[in-house]
A = this chain, B = another copy of it.
Amino acid sequence: MKKSESVMQHSYRQLADQLMHAIKAGDYQVGERLPSVRAYAATHSMSASTVIRCYRYLESLGLVEARSKSGMYVADWKAQNASRSHLMTPQTPQVRNGSSPAPVEYDKLMSHQHRMMQLYALTSQPLHLGLHLASAAPAWYPCASLAKIGQRLLRKDAQAIGLYPTGSGLPALKTALIHHLASFGVDLQAPDLLITNGSTEALSVALRAVAQAGDAVIVESPVYFGLLQMIENLGLKALEVPCVPGLGISLEALEYALEHHAGVKAIVAMPNFQNPLGCAMSEKNKRRLLKLVEQYDIALIEDDVFGDLSHQGERPQPVKAWDRHGHVIYCGSCSKSMAPAFRLGWIAGGRYHNRIAALKLSNSLVTPLFEQAVLAEFLDSGALPSHLRKLRERLVSSIPLVLAAVQRYFPAGTQVVSPAGGWWLWLQLPEKIDSLALLRLAVAEGIAFTPGVMFSNSAKYAHFMRMNIGRPWDKELELGIQTLGRLLAQLMSARLE
């Protein structure tokens, strides 16, 4: 099995090398149609799948392009090479008529929407190693306990399906969450809390409550691409303030940004285990962040979805724990640490809570009650602390092995910071390799991760990548990392040609 695979890889690379030379030599002109997969396979006495892999590989290098339903064409590879390097290296600002340098309009080069769609298209095919996924391994969640509770509830109270749900959340879940939140210093009462359709809805209504189209909000950089897309879709502007690996958002940069942009309405941040960096702010810095927010009288939208997943020591407190004046809009969720499929989030909106509650009502009316009832019973059973302990232990046990494999298989010059919580590994690739090109190659081999270009509206993270390592260490993961290393080496040699 392994042998034939390596033969196959060899033959598609051989074919690709031939074609690459032919294209670069001008034997195939830009815009010319390449032979169909079937015809090419017949001529060269090889399998169709080898030809497909070859074409995909060339596509990932920007040498050919597929046109829907009509086949494969030679791409305008010279122009593409030029624009790619344009995207990847800092531009020399051009001063026109003595005015200040024109900002690079990256969003015109490629909108976030467009990149999201590309990513979804790329990863929608069957994959055997989905390192782009947002949750840990399914087996790491208390699925059996939750399913049992669900079965019992359905048996006991089937009629509940016929009731139109109302209200801001199941009272039993709110009570259970209030206890959970109190265990790490967040003191709330039932009216302060609202159950949402995941933390995505929580963030969305929070943003809508504090900002209107045209307003600016500050985000960390790099930042979860879903947030950038949300901000774009709400007509808001994202100001990206650097997040320092191991430390969290740069408070100096943040203060500078607040001083220089009058219209900022909110900061969206993940003080606990930032996505993708995995770092947590110190308590001292959290307090400084809160002070800044109070000083400028703006909202802090605190995304704490990874808060339960520290690798060492106590669960860190969110900024909300010290919020006395209601500036902090706290968003949590069960999707990362408890039950990914439930799509339950929660929000405590502080001084903005009434507005948030009204927006939630007109956004999706209410959140389904079944999952809320199951989660409430699970929390009431007292099973959460031991589940979280196990989940953290599993995470912590696999991380050093992943880091060692990256060091072994990835090219020299790859940089990685070990995360303090969560399951993201944020990798800086050497020699400004475009991780989107790597992704195209990887997907052809059934492996996906998230390319760095997704984590900013600029292209500055194009040579970064994010990998989910919330899964047991096994041969499959090792092989996957090995494969990514091999593809990286291919890309580097292709760039040198």
A interface list, Cβ under 8 A from B:
113, 116-117, 124, 133-141, 143-144, 146-148, 150-151, 154-155, 158-165, 167, 196-198, 200-201, 204, 208, 212-213, 226, 229-230, 232-235, 335, 339-343, 358-359, 361-371
How long is the Cα–Cα vector from A165 to B343 in the complex, in angstroms?
8
Q: Check B365–A341 contact: CB distance below 8 A.
A: no
Report how far A163 CA is from B148 CA in the complex, Å. Answer: 17
**Does B363 contact A116, Cβ atoms closer than 8 Å?**
no
Answer whether A162 and B150 are a contact pair too, CB < 8 Å, given A230-B362, A363-B363, A371-B370: no
Chain B positions within 8 Å of A148 at CB level: 154, 158
A233 to B163, CA, bound (A): 27
> Contacts A158-B147, A161-B143 known; A341 to B368 CB distance under 8 Å?
yes
Distance (whole angstroms) from the CB of A257 to the closest CB of chain B: 23
Residues of B with C-beta under 8 A to A367: 197, 343
Cα–Cα distance between A361 and B144 once the two chains are bound (Å): 29
Chain B nearest CB, measured from A371 CB (Å): 6
Q: Flag if B233 contacts A212 (CB, 8 Å).
A: no
8 Å CB contact of A363 from B144, B201, B213, B371 = B201
Chain B residue with Cβ nearest A213:
B213
| Cα separation A232 to B154 with both chains bound (whole Å) | 38
Give the residue of B165, B212, B358, B359 whose beta carbon is less than 8 angstroms from that of A340.
B165
- Contact across chains for A359 and B233 when beta carbons are under 8 A apart: yes
Note all chain B residues with C-beta closer than 8 A to A167. 124
Instruction: Give Cα A271–Cα B218 distance, bound, in whole angstroms.
Output: 44
Q: List 28 A-B contacts (CB under 8 A).
A: A116-B358, A135-B163, A138-B161, A143-B158, A143-B160, A150-B151, A150-B154, A150-B370, A151-B154, A160-B341, A161-B341, A161-B342, A162-B339, A162-B341, A164-B335, A164-B341, A197-B201, A198-B365, A200-B362, A212-B235, A229-B358, A229-B362, A232-B362, A234-B362, A342-B368, A343-B366, A343-B367, A343-B368
Q: Is the interface of A mostly helix, strand, loop or mixed?
A: helix
Query: CA of A126 to CA of B360 in the docked complex: distance in angstroms?
Result: 23
A162-B339, A162-B341, A163-B135 known; A358 vs B146 contact (CB < 8 Å) = no
A117 to B362 CA separation, bound complex (whole angstroms): 12
Per the bound structure, the CA–CA distance linking A369 and B370 in Å amounts to 12
Supplied contacts A229-B358, A363-B364, 9 more A-B pairs, CB within 8 Å: A116-B358, A138-B160, A146-B158, A150-B150, A150-B154, A196-B364, A197-B367, A226-B362, A342-B368
In the bound complex, what is the Cα–Cα distance between A414 and B235 (angstroms)? 48
**Cα distance A135–B196 when bound, in Å?**
21
| Alpha-carbon gap, A139 to B396, bound state (A) | 50
What's the number of copies of this chain in the assembled complex?
2
Residue among A134, A167, A365 with most chain B CB within 10 A: A365
Instruction: Collect the chain B residues with CB atoms within 8 Å of residue A359's CB.
Output: 233
| A232 to B362 Cα, complex, angstroms | 9
Taking the closest CB of chain B, its distance from the CB of A97, in whole angstroms, is 33
Q: How far is the CA of A150 from the CA of B154 in the complex (A)?
A: 7
B159 touches A358 (CB 8 A): no
State in angstroms the CA–CA spacing of A230 and B154 once bound together: 33
Taking a contact as CB atoms under 8 Å apart, the answer to whether B162 and A155 are in contact is no
Q: How far is the CA of A162 from the CA of B144 in the complex (A)?
A: 10
Pairwise interchain contact B165-A139, C-beta atoms closer than 8 A: no
Most B CB atoms within 10 A — which of A159, A363, A366, A367?
Answer: A363
Residues of chain B contacted by A371 (CB below 8 angstroms): 368, 370
- Residues of chain B within 8 A of A137, CB atoms compared: 162
A-B complex: 10 closest residue pairs judged by Cβ atoms: A138-B162, A147-B158, A141-B162, A135-B164, A230-B362, A164-B340, A197-B364, A147-B154, A200-B365, A143-B161
* B residues in contact with A140, CB < 8 Å: 162
A350 vs chain B, min Cβ distance (A): 19
Closest to A152 in B: B151
For the complex formed, measure the closest distance between the CB of A129 and the CB atoms of chain B, giving whole angstroms: 15
CB of B158 within 8 A of CB of A361, answer: no
Known: A213-B235, A341-B161, A341-B164. A364 touches B198 (CB 8 A): yes
Q: Output the least CB separation between A223 and chain B (Å).
A: 14
Q: A154: which B residues are within 8 A, CB to CB?
A: 147-148, 150-151, 154
Of all chain B residues, the one with the shortest Cβ separation from A167 is B124
Q: How far is the CA of A246 from the CA of B372 in the complex (A)?
A: 41
